[in-house]
Amino acid sequence: MKKKDLKALDSLWTASQKIVITSHYNPDGDAVGSSLGLFHYLKAKGHEVFVVLPNEFPDFLAWMPGSNDILFATRDKETALQKLKAATVIFSLDYNAPSRTEHMKEALLDNSALKVLIDHHREPEDFADAILWDVEASSTCELIYRFINHYGDTDFIDQNIAACLYAGIMTDTGSFKYASTSPQTHKIAARLMETGIEASEIHSMVFDTNSYSRMQLLGRALENLQVIPAFQTAYTQLTKAELEEFNFVKGDTEGFVNYGLALKGVHFSVIFIENQQEPYIKISFRSKGDFDVNTFARKYFNGGGHQNAAGGKSMKNMTETIEDFKKALQEYAS
């Protein structure tokens, strides 16, 4: 990728812009938090701003200030496309390739707006005119803080912005425990807390609002957990029937994959989840230390992400997918 920075934006900020902020399909805490944090900031700077997401976010993020204003391309297709078309600037947050927006990809690329990428995933595609990209950043929310700071505007960070950014940093770092958590991450979190937000309340709203059925589904995922000691690997699976049995709703399986890493000696954990609508298996990969799941997901499961957290897909059935996975493990290790 050509070396780019935020310079292409410099001439824009003197006039009011029509801005659309986008993020990836199945938006998580960092995707929604960074989008809304930037949304509040750019609005305060006098721009017309819309957040357009490919599909809906899980319920545990619905408390975020501004979340009622988000447009979803699945639900409000016409309006979403029209806002994208009218935009003078489009932000791509928390994704490294337009295909990560799924059905929004064409509307995003076939567009004359100035494109800005703010992201921390590996190997970004070259589609943006301005870039703030750092794989070392804990989260895109951390980068939004840096973006605001770049313009000398940290005084603009009110409790709305702070709550959104804090939640995204908190979720992407597993509550500040992943290796991506740096001194800088803690410094930024501290500055956000200094606005007076209740960090502990934010943690509760995100993590302590489980339904009983979700806890039962977690129980099933733990029962299904298998360990392959030779590869220090744990994997589990949830079929469509199991999701139905526990009244699955979007977001319910978020974080399940991490439990495998809590086993002594395990440094690679995987979950296979059958999609309810379409015939594919969604795979999540997590690791500790040097094992690079981004490379593994790219090589074998048409996916990607970060060194210690990545995703992918298999078009085969569950049994075949797990067989493929075991073969891939053998091959990758040799």
Nearer to ligand 5GP by Cβ, of 49 and 310: the residue is: 310
For ligand 5GP, which residue of 32, 305, 308, 314 counts as binding (CB under 6 A)?
A: 305
Residues in binding contact with ligand 5GP, number by CB under 6 A: 12
Residues 6+ apart with CB under 8 A from 244: 276
User: What x/- string results for residues 18 through 57 when contact with Mn ion is judged by CB under 5 A?
Assistant: ------------x---------------------------
- Spatial CA neighbour of 26 closest among 87, 103, 80, 90: 103
Q: What one-character DSSP code corresponds to residue 123? A: S
Nearer to ligand 5GP by Cβ, of 28 and 114: the residue is: 28
By CB under 6 A, tell whether 58 contacts ligand 5GP. no
In a 3-state reduction of DSSP, which class is residue 15? coil
By CB under 6 A, tell whether 312 contacts ligand 5GP. yes
- Spatial CA neighbour of 135 closest among 126, 124, 146: 124
In a 3-state reduction of DSSP, which class is residue 305? strand
Name which of residues 277 to 296 contact ligand 5GP (CB under 6 A).
284
Contact window for Mn ion (CB under 5 A) among 64-72, 94-102, 192-200, 271-279:
94-102
Tokens of 226: 């298998």
By CB under 6 A, tell whether 266 contacts ligand 5GP. no
Which residues partner with 282 through β-bridges? 273, 313
- Spatial CA neighbour of 16 closest among 90, 111, 89: 89
Q: How far is the CB of 145 from Mn ion (least distance, A)?
A: 13
Q: Phi, psi (5° rounding) for residue 20?
A: -120, 130
Find the residue with minimal CB distance to ligand 5GP. Answer: 311
Distance from C-alpha of 287 to C-alpha of 232, rounded to nearest angstrom: 10
Nearer to ligand 5GP by Cβ, of 83 and 214: the residue is: 214
Q: Phi, psi (5° rounding) for residue 227?
A: -120, 135
Pick one of ligand 5GP, Mn ion, none as the site partner of residue 37 (Cβ within 5 to 8 A by kind).
none
By CB under 6 A, tell whether 124 contacts ligand 5GP. no
Residues 6+ apart with CB under 8 A from 81: 73, 107
Distance from C-alpha of 102 to C-alpha of 19, rounded to nearest angstrom: 20
By CB under 6 A, tell whether 185 contacts ligand 5GP. no
Pick one of Mn ion, ligand 5GP, none as the site partner of residue 303 (Cβ within 5 to 8 A by kind).
ligand 5GP
Pick one of ligand 5GP, Mn ion, none as the site partner of residue 273 (Cβ within 5 to 8 A by kind).
none
Residues of this chain that interact with ligand 5GP (CB under 6 A) are 24, 121, 284, 303-306, 309-313
